[in-house]
Amino acid sequence: MAGLICRLQQGMIVTACIAVCSMFSGSAYAGFIISYDGNSIAAGGTGTLDVQISSDAADSMPDFLDSFSAHFRITPVGGAVPNGLQFANLQVDSQLGDPSYVLHDDSLGETFGGPLGLVSNFINSNDTYIGGDGTVTGTGIPLSITSGTSLLFQLNLDATLANLGDQFMVSLINDGSTEFLGPGFATISLNASSFDANTATAVPEPSSAVMFLVAALGLGVFRRRLVA
């Protein structure tokens, strides 16, 4: 399963960027590739996870994306607080209007103002999100190996209840709620790498990190004075 493991770790500021490295075969209709670009999630705070889409189809026979739905779920790892990381109740759909959004300028969500999906409970509070969109024209957006990566979702995450050190996986679920279609409702498969696990590191609130750094520097100065 494609996912994001969020680790809450004190004393480090890490910008987490996730990339799924895939070997492009260049063959047509080999499937869409789902990957991630995740901002750090502050313990006790909120953040976003960018979900991206690309295609490894040949330029001469691109994949045309006309509509999609995707099912994401948050799962605690080990002894993490079960509802420590949640999908925010209000998903603001900030990808709408972004020029990098895959359906930009031909989006039902942009035309009618969303929302695109629904947050619900599977096992833990707000651990499930299913969302999607489609084109207004019905002709689809061409994606190929040279199209690069486009924005698919900006998922809003809430780590208010998480403890430092907790880990979570945000996964794309391979079930009937995850579906990518071309014009005429033709099914387009997902590359197997779309369901690979990916990791990222979440960090303390910036003020906490700064205080930790100041304290560490002060301790170093104090030690040097003792040695002198």
Cα separation, 200 vs 210, in Å, equals 21
Radius of gyration of the chain (CA): 20
| 98-113: average pLDDT | 95
Pairing of strands 46-55, 150-158: antiparallel
Residue 223: predicted pLDDT: 41
Instruction: Give the CATH number, domain containing residue 217.
Output: 2.60.40.680
**Beta carbons of 5 and 171 less than 8 angstroms apart:** no
Q: What is the average pLDDT score of the chain?
A: 78
Using a 10 angstrom Cβ sphere, with 0-12 exposed, 13-18 middle and 19 or more buried, the burial of residue 29 is: middle
Secondary structure of residue 74 in the 3-state scheme: strand
Q: Say which range, 98-107, 149-158, 167-176, has the weakest mean pLDDT.
A: 167-176
Using a 10 angstrom Cβ sphere, with 0-12 exposed, 13-18 middle and 19 or more buried, the burial of residue 79 is: exposed
18's tokens: 């996730």
Cα separation, 172 vs 69, in Å, equals 11
Residue 198: predicted pLDDT: 57
Domain that residue 21 falls in: 2-227
The pLDDT tens digits for 42-100 are 778 888 899 999 999 999 999 999 999 999 999 888 888 899 899 999 999 999 999 99
Rounded to two decimals, what is the model's pTM? 0.78
Handedness of CA 103, 108, 109, 111 (dihedral sign): positive
DSSP label at 135?
A: B
Which helix (H) or strand (E) segment holds residue 141: the answer is: strand 141-143
Total structural domains in the chain?
1
Contacts of residue 68, defined as CB under 8 A and 6 or more positions apart, other chains included, come to: 132, 133, 134, 152, 179, 180, 181
Cα separation, 110 vs 98, in Å, equals 10
Q: Say which range, 72-76, 180-184, 205-209, has the weakest mean pLDDT.
A: 205-209
